[in-house]
Amino acid sequence: MNFTRWSARLPGTQRRTSAARAARAAAQAQQTSEFESPERPGTGGTPAEDADGSPTSDADGASGDGTSTVPAARAERLAAPALAGTDAAAEPDPAIRCSTTGTDSSTVAPRDRQHAPSSAPGMDPGTGTAPSAAAFRTAASPVARAVGKSPSARVTRSIDALSVHDLLGQVPALAAVVHGPEHRIAYVNDAYRTVFGPRTQGDAARDALPELVELGLLPLMDQVLRSGKPRTVKSRRVPGAGSCREQPNARETREPRDAFYTFTCTPITADGENGVLIFAADVTDQVEAAERLRASERRQREAAVTLQRSLLPQELEQPDDLRVAATYQPGGTEAAVGGDWYDVITLGAGRTALVIGDVMGRGVRAAAVMGQLRTAVRAYARLDLPPHEVVQLLDGLAAEIDASQIATCVYAVHDPNEGLLYYASAGHPPIIVRDADGAVHRAAEPTGPPLGTGGWSHVSCSLPFNPGSSAVLYTDGLVERRDADIDTGVLTLERAFAGATGSPEIVCDRLLRSLGITAEHDDDVAVLVMEHPARTGPDAELFHNAALDLLGGTEAAPRARAFASGVLSSWRFPTELHDLGVLAASELVANSLQHGTPPMRLRLRRTDRRLIVEVTDGDEHLPRRRRAEPVDEAGRGISIVATIASAWGSRRTPGGGKSVWCEFALPTP
């Protein structure tokens, strides 16, 4: 179907065509009766000819000889001089020109007034001057009613009379019109041909518009025909079209580039026949800008995640009595990572500190605060302080680092000799413990407010943690959801932890899956799982404990040496290690007898990797290593122990008093 004829039958075009016919008829009548003069050239022709002598065209694009020429809108543009009161081949009369532009007659040049005939049409017969603008508008009222009362109205009417063909041909976007159930081509504009090449009218879209088939638009066009509602697909990639949009001859001069278009399919109807207007807007710049933004965000996120992971321990310490595993899952796809962290710190004498925390907020600033807190925890842990004192120190440090940053934290210490887990919680979710019999219970409420609030005192609590027990420490991202209370998440975690078996690494993965943590989760998650395995079989022979209560007096030191020698011999230690262990036990007991108070106790502990010698007493003053002068009779015991042992230390015990210990590394088998 010829698109010019089919578009002329559209309802809007038909209304504009009828109005144009009426305006032309009125203009011709007025021009013949009032404004044409026999002496003026170009006005004596037949009404069927324009100023250039060519036949005028009707609104349907048919000329006087019955042949098809131009669209209706083009005929209207050719008739526009007549509508404006001017002749295309002759200069209009000065009086008429002044009246048309709304200019007073006094502005006409004197020479024009002198040569104007007194009896000419449009002149006052009494004065020979041009009539006023009001008089001209009254005389030209038929034309004014046909085409409007001002030049701006005539321009608006001319644009409104443009056909669909002319409008689509001027837009830079891709446009095509198809009709019928097979979507036969009625029209494609120049922009469409520039991108996809020429197309033949009347061909079916499936064969003639393969690009629409590749883009998946044919089913959408079928749906538009059936429903009569427009449909849009956004940002479809068109291979090789990017070069065409930059330069018409780009295919020959440069590497083809892809472009992106948003296609809108709109139903159209003319004389009962349905069609589809396919309109494609170029959105390549927007898509490329969005891709650059996403790439920048990915780079920022990778940098932030790298920073976050670099601040976490690269490898967890593995204590003798515990098996520990941890995992960190950054939240979502945003660049702003959180401030979750965890750590495992061996304190000596078989004791282990475990810490997990979460800095509120997101971004590099939160990660930086997290790194400072983690470093501070390791430094405070070396002091071997009770958990609540470590948390108190962290609270003051957090306020100094950034008063606007608040963090939660749990600091726990496992003591295998006592079978307890001491902890202090600064506003953090509770620890969950699973006993050897499978019973799951949680720790009490937080023992203090979050870090950084200041002015509060924290306390330490304890949980039974015997061989066969396991525990999980976690951040709120594991259990907190926007649509549920956090207690619901903790209950879900308890049920998942009750059935999670295997190594700590496997338990971490199972907990993440059970709680629905994926790469798209909107919050960071840190999980720390520890297990105190029950030793059986050959492993049980590698872990031994022996203790002796000392009542004081002169016989305490010989008893301690005899006890240590017998125990180390039974554990089949080499002679050198046996002698070093006996010497260390003797020096620690002697130091306690001299500076401490009863009750006193000597404890020997063996693991698969080290020998531990520990002496406790009732005095809280911690010994320190000092340099003894040659004339001093005392002060050399701790120096001797520090020299022969792999490590030594001292701490205050929870019930009062102190503990002084040293370790010897066992030879590797």
Nearest residue to 621 via CA among 647, 661, 592, 584: 592
pLDDT at 221: 92
> Could you give the CA distance from residue 511 to residue 185 in angstroms, rounded to a whole number?
60
pLDDT band of 412, cuts 50, 70, 90: very high
pLDDT at 273: 84
Where is pLDDT greater, at 412 or 46? 412
Q: What is the pLDDT of residues 462-475, one digit of tens each?
A: 999 999 999 999 99
> Could you give the CA distance from residue 334 to residue 293 in angstroms, rounded to a whole number?
12
For the ranges 43-52, 121-130, 617-626, the maximum mean pLDDT occurs at 617-626
Q: CB–CB of 251/197 below 8 Å?
A: no
Evaluate if residue 92 carries a pLDDT over 50: no
Where is pLDDT greater, at 364 or 349? 349
Q: Letter for the amino acid at 418?
A: E
Q: Find the mean pLDDT for residues 498-502.
A: 91
Q: Find the mean pLDDT for residues 181-202.
A: 89
- For residue 363, what are the contacts with CB-CB under 8 A and spacing of at least 6? 304, 336, 337
Q: CB–CB of 573/579 below 8 Å?
A: no
Residue 437 corresponds to which tokens in the numbers above? 């019999």
Alpha-carbon separation of residue 321 from 136, 180, 346, 501, 652 (angstroms): 111, 80, 11, 19, 22
Q: CB–CB of 349/614 below 8 Å?
A: yes
Q: Report helix, strand or coil for 5.
A: helix
- Per-residue burial over 12-36, b = 16 or more CB atoms within 10 Å of its CB, e = otherwise: ebeebbebbeebbebbeebbeeebe
Q: Find the mean pLDDT for residues 105-119.
A: 39
pLDDT band of 555, cuts 50, 70, 90: confident
> Could you give the CA distance from residue 75 to residue 70 in angstroms, rounded to a whole number?
7
Residue 643 corresponds to which tokens in the numbers above? 């020299």
Where is pLDDT greater, at 401 or 508? 508
Q: CB–CB of 90/40 below 8 Å?
A: yes
For the ranges 63-67, 375-379, 541-545, the maximum mean pLDDT occurs at 375-379
Evaluate if residue 527 carries a pLDDT over 90: yes
Evaluate if residue 90 carries a pLDDT over 80: no
* 1-5, 100-104, 233-237, 430-434: the lowest-pLDDT one: 100-104
> Could you give the CA distance from residue 669 to residue 666 in angstroms, rounded to a whole number?
9
Q: For the chain, what is the mean pLDDT?
A: 77
Q: Find the mean pLDDT for residues 246-259.
A: 59
pLDDT at 245: 53
Q: Find the mean pLDDT for residues 77-88.
A: 44
Q: Is the dihedral of CA 145, 149, 150, 155 positive or negative?
A: negative
pLDDT at 484: 83
> Could you give the CA distance from residue 494 to residue 485 in angstroms, rounded to a whole number?
15
Q: Give the rounded percent of residues in the chain with a pLDDT score beyond 70.
A: 72
Q: CB–CB of 524/480 below 8 Å?
A: no
Q: CB–CB of 484/450 below 8 Å?
A: no
Evaluate if residue 33 carries a pLDDT over 80: no
pLDDT at 123: 44
Q: Letter for the amino acid at 184?
A: R
Q: What is the pLDDT of residues 44-62, one digit of tens each?
A: 444 444 434 444 434 344 4
pTM: 0.62
Alpha-carbon separation of residue 60 from 18, 44, 71, 147 (angstroms): 10, 26, 7, 20
pLDDT at 454: 76
pLDDT band of 530, cuts 50, 70, 90: very high
Chain centroid to CA 644: 57
pLDDT at 109: 40
Residue 260 corresponds to which tokens in the numbers above? 């992106």
pLDDT band of 112, cuts 50, 70, 90: very low
For the ranges 139-143, 288-292, 633-637, the maximum mean pLDDT occurs at 288-292
> H/E element holding 290?
helix 284-311
> Could you give the CA distance from residue 509 to residue 430 in angstroms, rounded to a whole number?
20
Evaluate if residue 91 carries a pLDDT over 50: no
Helices (H) and strands (E) in the chain, counts: 24, 20
Evaluate if residue 628 carries a pLDDT over 70: no
Residue 100 corresponds to which tokens in the numbers above? 């048309």
Q: What is the pLDDT of residues 434-459, one digit of tens each?
A: 999 999 999 987 788 999 887 678 89
Q: Annotate 326-341 with DSSP letters as a single string.
A: EEEE--SSSS---EEE
